[in-house]
Amino acid sequence: MITKEEKILQTYFGYETFRPGQQETIDNILQTKNTLAVMPTGGGKSLCYQIPGLSLDGTAIIISPLISLMKDQVDALNSLGIPSTFINSSLSTAEQHERLRNLENRRYKFVYVAPERFDSASFVNAVKRIPLSLVAFDEAHCISQWGHDFRPSYRSIVPNLKQLSNIPVFMALTATATEEVISDIQSLLHIEKDCVINTGFERENLSFHIVKGKDKAIYIRSFLQEHKEESGIIYTATRKQADALYEQLTRREIAAAKYHAGLTEDERKHSQAAFIQDEKTVMIATNAFGMGIDKSNVRYVIHYAMPMTIESYYQEAGRAGRDGEPSDCILLFSPQDVQLQKFLIEQSQMDDEAKRAEYRKLQAMINYCHTHSCLTTFILDYFNDTAHTETCKRCSNCMNRQERSDITEEAQMILSCVKRMGERFGVGMTAKVLKGSNDKKINQFGLNKITTYGILSAYTEKELTEWIHFLVAEKFLDTEEGKFPTLKLNQESIDILKGRKKVWIYTAPIPTNGETDYHAE
C-alpha cells in the first residue's frame, strides 16, 4: 500500500520513489520530531519540507538566506497548484502588506522568508496567530558560527522562535555540515541524535582534479578549447583576477561572462542571466557568484586559485553536475594561493581564536592540494562521512596510480631534519636546510652546522617543499596552526624513522627537469 506521502510525491511532483533520506526525514517531521537533514546538493532537500508541509494542516514557514531563490521555489509550487508566497525586501511595502494579510487569512501552504523578517513585529504577530505545519531552516549551516557562511541573524531568531507556542516542529537542511556544525545545530534546535539524517556527501558524478606546476592561463585556454560547447564556472580568488581572466578570454572570442561584487547590480543580473540561458558558456566569478544559482548543466567548475576552506571548495565545486551527469571539478594550485589566503585571514577582524580556527581549515585545504590519496575520500573524511568505503577511481590521484615509488629513506631524512631543527621551523626553512642553501637566515640560526644540512641536495628546493607538504597532507608530520606553521613530529613520523612504516608516492622520485608536477591530469 502506498502512503499518503508517496501519493503526494507521485501526484504533485511526478516522482515514483523517494531518494535516500527523504522518507526518514519526512516521517520524523510527521511525528513532530525536530530533524536535521544533511544531503548533498541536488539530493532533494526541498521535498523533505514540501511533502510534510502539504500533508499537514497549516502553513509551513521556510527560512532561507537566498532571496534570489525564493521566487523560483514559490513559482514552482504555485505552478503545481500549491498556494505559496515569499515575503522579503525585494517587494514594495504595499505588496508585503498584502501578502501578510493573506498569510493571516491562512491562504498559504508555504511562506518563504529571510531570517531578518522575524525582526518585523507585524510578521511575528501574524505567524503567532495562524496554525503552522512546520518551520524549516534551509541552508542551516548558516546558523552555526562554525559554518563557513555564518549569519548572525539566522542564529539570533532561534530563541524568539522557540517562544512561539504554535510551532509544532523545527527542521534544518544543509548540504555542508562538519561534526561541529551538526552538533551546534542539534543543540540550538533541540534535535536528538537519531533525528540527524545524514545521507553522506558523496556526489558520484563529480571527478576532482588537482593541477599543479602549470601556467594557469594556458591550461584554461586549452581546457576551454576542448570543452567549447559545455557550460562551466571558473572561480578566481579576487576581483582583479576575474577581470584579468575575463579580458584574456573575451579577447580570444570565448563566450565568457563575469560576476563579482565590484560590478553594478544590473551588470551582475545581466551576466547571470546570460550564463543561465546558455548565451555565455563560461562564467568567470569570485565566490560572490553561486549562492542560489540553480543551473543544472554546469559541466565543470575550475578554481583558478585555492579557496580558504574545504567547505567552501566543496560547495563551489558542487555547483557542477546538479543534473547528475559526469562533471569535473578542477583546482589549479600554486603556492602563492596559500600566501593570499593567509593574508586574508590576517587582514580580517577575527579574534585570535577565530583566526586559529581559520588557519586549521586552511591547512586542511592545503593538505587536499598535496595528498596522494583519493581526493573524494579526503573530502568525505573531512566531513566525517563514513558512508563510503572505497576510493573513487575517478579523481586525478586515483587516475595517477600507475607508478609508485618508495621514498621512505628520503622521508626519514626529512623527518630527522625536522627533529634536528628543534621542531621550531616551517616548511620553507626545512626545505632550505635539506637542500643546503646559503640563505642568510640558515647561517644566522646555525642550521648549516646540523648533520642533516644539505643531506638531500640532489633535489630541488621546490621538490623538497612538495615532499614536506605531502608528508603533512598524509599526516606523517604535523603542523601547528598559525601564520607560520611549524613542523612537529607525530607517532607516524616516529614509525617511519624507526623503519616500521614505508612511505610511497605516486611519481618518480628522481629529479628530471626540476618541475614538480605530481598531479598533472
Phi and psi torsions of 511, nearest 5° = -65, 135
CA 105 to chain centre: 41
Under the binding rule (CB under 6 A), the answer on residue 417 touching ligand ADP is no
Beta strands in 99-145 (DSSP E): 110-113, 132-137
Stretch that binds ligand ADP, among 35-43, 83-91, 352-360, 502-510 (CB under 6 A): 35-43
Kindly tell me which residue out of 12, 19, 150, 263 binds ligand ADP, with binding defined by CB under 6 A: 19
**3-state helix vs strand vs coil in the chain, percent to 5:** 45, 15, 40
Tell the smallest beta-carbon distance from residue 475 to ligand ADP (Å).
32
Closest CA to 36 of 182, 134, 248: 182
Compare residues 39 and 380 and give the one whose CB is closer to ligand ADP: 39
Stretch that binds ligand ADP, among 34-42, 55-63, 154-162, 187-195 (CB under 6 A): 34-42
**132 DSSP β-pair partners:** 59
Under the binding rule (CB under 6 A), the answer on residue 432 touching ligand ADP is no
Stretch that binds ligand ADP, among 45-53, 83-91, 151-159, 204-212 (CB under 6 A): 45-53
Stretch that binds ligand ADP, among 16-24, 341-349, 361-369, 419-427 (CB under 6 A): 16-24
Tell the smallest beta-carbon distance from residue 429 to ligand ADP (Å).
45
Q: How far apart are the first and last CA of the chain?
A: 51
Q: Are 33 and 57 in contact (CB under 8 A)?
A: no
Q: Are 141 and 177 in contact (CB under 8 A)?
A: yes
CA 307 to chain centre: 9
Residue with the closest Cβ to ligand ADP?
A: 44
Compare residues 9 and 100 and give the one whose CB is closer to ligand ADP: 9
Compare residues 18 and 108 and give the one whose CB is closer to ligand ADP: 18
Kindly tell me which residue out of 5, 25, 45, 63 binds ligand ADP, with binding defined by CB under 6 A: 45
Element spanning 52, H or E: helix 45-55
Tell the smallest beta-carbon distance from residue 173 to ligand ADP (Å).
7
Tell the smallest beta-carbon distance from residue 307 to ligand ADP (Å).
20
Compare residues 66 and 340 and give the one whose CB is closer to ligand ADP: 66
Q: Residue 120 has which C-alpha cell?
A: 518585523
Under the binding rule (CB under 6 A), the answer on residue 42 touching ligand ADP is yes
Compare residues 181 and 450 and give the one whose CB is closer to ligand ADP: 181
Compare residues 198 and 373 and give the one whose CB is closer to ligand ADP: 198
The CA dihedral of 413, 419, 425, 430, to the nearest 10 degrees, is: -10
DSSP state of 140: G
Task: Count residues binding ligand ADP (CB under 6 A).
Answer: 12
Specify the residue for cell string 644539505: 454
Q: Are 461 and 431 in contact (CB under 8 A)?
A: yes
Compare residues 39 and 87 and give the one whose CB is closer to ligand ADP: 39
Compare residues 379 and 415 and give the one whose CB is closer to ligand ADP: 379
Tell the smallest beta-carbon distance from residue 149 to ligand ADP (Å).
15
Under the binding rule (CB under 6 A), the answer on residue 39 touching ligand ADP is yes
Under the binding rule (CB under 6 A), the answer on residue 18 touching ligand ADP is yes
Compare residues 15 and 484 and give the one whose CB is closer to ligand ADP: 15
Compare residues 96 and 176 and give the one whose CB is closer to ligand ADP: 176
Under the binding rule (CB under 6 A), the answer on residue 46 touching ligand ADP is yes
Beta strands in 294-449 (DSSP E): 298-303, 327-333, 405-406
Alpha helix (H) ranges present in 22-107?
A: 22-30, 45-55, 67-79, 93-104
Tell the smallest beta-carbon distance from residue 22 to ligand ADP (Å).
6
Kindly tell me which residue out of 21, 43, 232, 290 binds ligand ADP, with binding defined by CB under 6 A: 43
Under the binding rule (CB under 6 A), the answer on residue 284 touching ligand ADP is no
Specify the residue for cell string 539566522: 154
Compare residues 26 and 392 and give the one whose CB is closer to ligand ADP: 26
SS3 276: helix
Beta strands in 8-150 (DSSP E): 35-38, 59-63, 84-87, 110-113, 132-137
Kindly tell me which residue out of 8, 26, 47, 249 binds ligand ADP, with binding defined by CB under 6 A: 47
Compare residues 232 and 321 and give the one whose CB is closer to ligand ADP: 321
Q: Which residues contact 161 (CB under 8 A, 6 or more apart)?
A: 118, 135, 167, 170
- Residue 311, judged by CB atoms within 10 A of its CB (0-12, 13-18, 19+), counts as buried
Kindly tell me which residue out of 28, 38, 44, 203 binds ligand ADP, with binding defined by CB under 6 A: 44
Under the binding rule (CB under 6 A), the answer on residue 205 touching ligand ADP is no
Under the binding rule (CB under 6 A), the answer on residue 75 touching ligand ADP is no
Tell the smallest beta-carbon distance from residue 18 to ligand ADP (Å).
5
Cα–Cα distance list, 476 to 11, 367, 490 (Å)? 55, 12, 7
Under the binding rule (CB under 6 A), the answer on residue 15 touching ligand ADP is yes
Closest CA to 110 of 70, 55, 59: 59
Q: Are 26 and 3 in contact (CB under 8 A)?
A: no
Binding site for ligand ADP (CB under 6 A): 15, 18-19, 22, 39, 41-47
